[in-house]
Structure 1
Amino acid sequence: MFRKKGASQDTPADPPHPAEPGTAAEPGGPAGTAAPSEPLDLQLGEHHDTPVLHLTPDLMVRQQNELAEMERELGPGHEDVLRARHTHAMMLGNWAAVAPPGDTRMADREIALLEVNLGYQEASLGPDHLGTLRTCQSIGHAHLTAGRPRQAIPYLERALEGRERGADPDDEETLTAREKLSEACAAAGMTDRAITLLEETAAASERLLPPGAETVRDRKAKLFDAYREAGRRAEAIALCKEIIEDTERFYGPHHLDTYTWVDNLAHLHHDEQDLDAAIACYERAIAGLEQIHGPDSEALSYRYHNLAIAHLEDGRPDRAVPHLAAAHSAREHTFGADHGTTLDALVDLINALDRAGRPTEAVEATERLLAALLRVGGPDHPQLPEVRAYLEQLRRLLP
């Protein structure tokens, strides 16, 4: 079967896409002939693990020793000791951020140090002092890093409420506190509250910051992700259109970010099965990205594929064929003729040619696939029998 449309690979917010529409079944071959009973269903691409970042402990040991010496000389609640303890906690937080999943040892040590500071700050500075609130924020962030969002929320709520009582509610640090609380709520499954907090943050950012500010764009992108992940597509579509207008206004209609957001809008329309709107957006994004990347770029290959899938779902396989051919050409240019992702694209093209009733071209493409599999795996390649059987069925359709 055809692979479903792919997620956008270079959106500004690197957002993940929701469940994608499947492709409608449609008989292939000319009228009165029997097409192969099942399309090719091969997945030949490769997957790679993301490398892990490692840090060295030398600085941590030195800081720990210096902190212990300062505590002995100045006392545990001295201002300089509080500052040094906070610095050491932040370094532990850097370790915690790259720890393997489930390893909370560094985060726990960070939190323990920050809790000591919080006790002294509450006693000497008061519960609503900015220093106290910043420590609450840091503790909440550490719990969130450790995968404990429900333990993070009380600290982040306290940090936000204290700022809202004592400062301008549109102050940038207040907005950051609200954004972090939204992140914790989302991680804890409190989706509606998380979105409400993000909506407030994005709206306040537009009031506080100059038009086109990067922070405003980032927060709108985060809100867009939240709408989409929550299945609130109408709101996601409206916000995506607003972001496109912003991007066109500040960067122009032919900027990379503009085309990337147009591609995001295409995905949303596709998910809603508004195929005409999806196709129009895909075509605009592709036309612009071809000028930026060139038609043989991998950045274009999956977009050609998505446009083709939209045409197939709309019952127009003939219109899908050139886009699938372009996707195959781009992957062949990038990865080589025998790479797994290139062969996946060739399988898609074969199936589209079959559905469009073009058996001669389908046979030629399948023969290319057969030759590639022989080069890759030799005569014992496990998928050769399926491809040979499919090729034989296609040949029966030839005049």
Structure 2
Amino acid sequence: MAFFEQQVAERERDLGPDHPDALRSRNNLGGACQQGGLVDRAVSLFERNLADSERVLGPDHPDTLTCRNNLAGAYEAAGDPARAIPLYNRALAGRERFLGSADLRTMLCRDNLARAHELTGDPARAVPLHERTLTDRERTLGSDHPDTLLSRGNLAYAQHGAQSPERSAELFAHALVESERCLGPDHSATRLVRELLTHVRGG
């Protein structure tokens, strides 16, 4: 934490508080605060950084989109996923427009938005988001990639929450076969998928 504090102080002093490098340093400090459990301070830093980034860099600059995504994550960490959803939506729209739907940062943002919907008790809204990410990852990474397996599990979990147990079980069964083949039957991810499949089948 002290390192990031010092970095912010030095860059604001040497470059000015509105310099892009100073904004990035403040963003890093916010992330360190959130990881260290100082969620309220992280929210405050991210709120300031987003306002400054929108003013200095513009609302659609890649750094601004990152700030918006990070503030949404801080709201979520503070127990307010409903407040995070509109920010995730704006960040996702910007990343899809400027980076493309299959860019890693875009897919991570889409996963974040889907999770926020699940946390607010609306998994049906998460389903199409997970479906799109799964399609993108299968196309760009392949069906065997760990991130693709994760997407398949995320979709299966959302389908179960959206009261589609048969589709959920089908997806979990597929994910289990792929996970056993790619990661091995005793891998922690494989065991988790196996437990979830048993759960959705009512076992």
Alignment correspondent of 2:63: 257
Q: 1:225 and 2:28 equivalent?
A: yes
Structure 1 residues 346, 203: closer, same or farther in 2, change over 3 A?
A: same
Aligned to 2:87: 281
Return the letter of the residue paired with 2:169: V
Structure 2 residue 119 is the aligned partner of structure 1 residue 325: no
**Superposition map of 1:367-382 within 5 A:** 367-373=173-179, 375-376=181-182, 381-382=185-186
TM-score normalised over the length of structure 2: 0.77
Task: List alignment gaps of at least 5 residues for structure 2.
Answer: none
Partner in structure 2 of residue 235 of structure 1: 44
Residues 305 and 323 in structure 1, CA contact (< 8 A), matched pair in contact too: yes
Write out aligned runs for 1:87-236 (5 A): 186-187=2-3, 194=6, 198=9, 202=12, 205-206=15-16, 216-230=19-33, 231=38, 232-236=41-45
Q: What amino acid is the match of 2:2?
A: A
Which amino acid is the alignment partner of residue 223 of structure 1?
A: R
TM-score using structure 1 length: 0.42
Partner of 1:296: 102
Cα deviation for residue 355 of structure 1 reads 1.8
Identity level (%): 28
2:153/2:193 contact within 8 Å kept: no
Task: Using CA pairs under 8 Å that are at least 6 residues apart, name the structure with larger relative contact order, 1 or 2.
Answer: 1
What corresponds to 1:306 in structure 2?
Answer: 112
Is this contact kept in 1: 2:169–2:197, CA < 8 A? yes
User: What do the CA deviations read for 1:196-234 (whole angstroms, capped 9, x no partner)?
Assistant: x81x86277449xxxx6xxx2212332343355342234
Rg: which structure is higher? 1
Q: Distance in 2 between matches of 1:390 and 1:268?
A: 28
Q: How big is the shift at 1:392?
A: 5.5
Q: Equivalents in 2 of 1:321, 1:288: separation in Å?
A: 21
1:5-41 CA-to-partner distances (Å, cap 9, x unmatched) read xxxxxxxxxxxxxxxxxxxxxxxxxxxxxxxxxxxxx
Distance in 2, matches of 1:221 and 1:376, equals 37
The one-letter code sitting in structure 2 at the alignment partner of 1:344 is L
What is the one-letter code of the residue matched to 2:24?
Answer: A
Q: Distance in 1 between matches of 2:66 and 2:148?
A: 23
Contact 1:224–1:236 (CA under 8 A) maintained in structure 2:
yes
Shift of 1:286: 0.6
Question: Aligned partner of 1:202: which letter?
Answer: E
Partner secondary structure for residue 131 of structure 2: helix
What secondary structure is seen at the aligned counterpart in 1 of 2:59?
coil
Letter in 1 for 2:46: I
For this pair of structures, how many residues does the alignment match? 195
Inter-CA distance 374–221: structure 2 relative to 1 (3 Å threshold): closer
Aligned counterpart for 1:345 among listed residues 139, 143, 151: 151
Q: Which structure 1 segments of 5+ residues have no match?
A: 1-184
Residues 26 and 49 in structure 2, CA contact (< 8 A), matched pair in contact too: no
Check the 8 A contact 1:262/1:281 in 2, yes or no. yes
